[in-house]
């Protein structure tokens, strides 16, 4: 089984990455993400990008993969495909939200690709954690001062249930044009979220 892959993107990382990274994690930087890594004293294994947001790195022990500027994949999506190809089962992306909203949305779509490829993947930023499940269940550990929300990334998700939160759902249908799953609250116990058919985005966010 492959180790977990940590991906550091180009957007500002406003939390302690070292607290997230384990000794055996494989670390990849996307484009300017290598600057984020340097600022926190992290040495990546690989740096990938077209380097449109920062000059190519020099004097680095990391393997550098330079991509063309004109391509179908974003840098993050290219890395996601390689994570699947290399057989990683877990991945965490940091520094890939904020800034341009089109890139943030592209990275949320990437989560759907990763889930369908069998890779348990999270996007983490200063305030929120994003993940996607497809035709399956997951359990959220209870968190103080946090909301959790669910959204359908398909036209509809069926057989959606939430058990253990302040507001519960039981075998309902969610559509992608009505956000009934927004802003639920933890109630001091684990929350089980299930979707029998469909692609469900789960976002956990700290309260203001």
Q: Which residues contact 187 (CB under 8 A, 6 or more apart)?
A: 142, 164, 165, 166
* pLDDT digits 0-9 by tens, 7-31: 999 998 989 999 999 999 999 999 8
Q: Which residues contact 63 (CB under 8 A, 6 or more apart)?
A: 45, 46, 47
C-beta atoms surrounding 138 within 10 Å: 15
Domain segments of the chain as ranges: 5-126, 133-206
At 147, the pLDDT band (50, 70, 90 cuts) reads very high
C-beta atoms surrounding 167 within 10 Å: 11
pLDDT at 1: 55
pLDDT at 88: 96
N- to C-terminal Cα separation, the chain: 39
pLDDT at 2: 66
Lowest mean pLDDT among 41-55, 138-152, 191-205: 41-55
pTM for this predicted structure: 0.92
Identify which has the larger pLDDT, 51 or 34.
34
Per-residue pLDDT, averaged over 65-78, amounts to 83
Q: Which residues contact 107 (CB under 8 A, 6 or more apart)?
A: 9, 74, 76, 93, 96, 97, 123
Vertex 46: Cα angle to 41 and 49 (nearest 5): 105
Q: Where does 5-126 sit in CATH, by number?
A: 3.40.50.10240
At 55, the pLDDT band (50, 70, 90 cuts) reads confident
pLDDT at 173: 96
Residue-wise burial string across 73-100, b where 16 or more C-beta atoms lie within 10 A, e elsewhere = ebbbbbbbeebbeeebebbbbbbbbbee
Q: How far apart are CA 171 and CA 34, in angstroms?
A: 44
pLDDT at 72 over 80: no
Is the fold of 5-126 the same as that of 133-206?
no
Query: In which residue are the tokens 């983490």 written?
Result: 124
pLDDT at 185 over 80: yes
Fold of the domain spanning 133-206: Jelly Rolls (2.60.120)
């Amino acid at each position: 089984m492959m180790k977990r892959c940590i991906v550091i993107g180009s957007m500002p990382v406003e939390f302690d990455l070292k607290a997230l990274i384990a000794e055996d994690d494989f670390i990849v930087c996307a484009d300017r993400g290598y600057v984020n890594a340097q600022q926190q004293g992290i040495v990546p294994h690989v740096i990938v990008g077209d380097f449109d947001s920062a000059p190519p790195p020099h004097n680095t022990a990391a393997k550098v993969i330079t991509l063309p500027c004109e391509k179908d994949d974003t840098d993050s999506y290219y890395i996601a495909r390689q994570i699947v190809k290399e057989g990683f089962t877990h991945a965490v992306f940091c520094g890939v939200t904020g800034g341009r909203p089109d890139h943030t949305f592209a990275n949320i779509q990437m989560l759907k690709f990763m889930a369908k490829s069998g890779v348990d993947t999270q996007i983490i930023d200063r305030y929120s954690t994003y993940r996607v499940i497809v035709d399956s269940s997951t359990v959220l550990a209870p968190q103080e001062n946090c909301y959790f929300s669910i959204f359908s990334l398909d036209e509809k998700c069926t057989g959606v249930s939430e058990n253990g939160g302040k507001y519960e759902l039981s075998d309902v249908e969610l559509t992608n044009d009505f956000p009934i799953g927004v802003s639920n609250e933890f109630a001091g116990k684990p929350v089980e979220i299930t979707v029998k058919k469909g692609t469900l985005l789960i976002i956990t966010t700290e309260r203001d």
